[in-house]
Amino acid sequence: MMYKVSYVIVGGRHPGAIANRENPPRLGEIIELGERRFEVIEVADLVPPRGDFAYLHVALKPISEGPANS
């Protein structure tokens, strides 16, 4: 299954992102977008899965202000 994921940043200035994944995001998972790191705090279906695709909304909270490698 392929997951089309809409990442929304809660309380941050990051614009978010849309990405394809082979595995669904999990609560507490750490996601890197650019040079910033975020924690998954919510995962919800946008619409029911269709064929081999699922469409997910994922809310993220920032966990670092600097580059992910610092």
Q: What's the pTM?
A: 0.85
Q: Could you tell me the residue range of the domain that residue 10 belongs to?
A: 2-62
* pLDDT digits 0-9 by tens, 10-56: 987 889 999 999 999 999 999 999 889 999 999 999 999 999 999 99
pLDDT at 70: 47
Q: Sign of dihedral through CA atoms 69, 13, 10, 34?
A: negative
In a domain, 70, yes or no: no
Whether residue 22 is contained in a domain is answered as: yes
Is 69 among the domain residues?
Answer: no
The Cβ of residue 62 has, within 10 Å, a number of other Cβ atoms equal to 16
- What is the C-alpha to C-alpha distance for residues 7 and 58, in angstroms, rounded to an integer? 5
Q: Within a domain: residue 14?
A: yes
Grade residue 69 by pLDDT with cuts at 50, 70 and 90: low
In DSSP terms, 30 is beta-bridged to 39
Cα–chain center distance at 7: 4
Indicate whether 11 belongs to any domain.
yes
pLDDT at 11: 85
Question: Is the per-residue pLDDT at 66 higher than 90?
Answer: no
Total domains in the fold of the chain = 1
Q: What is the pLDDT of residue 13?
A: 82
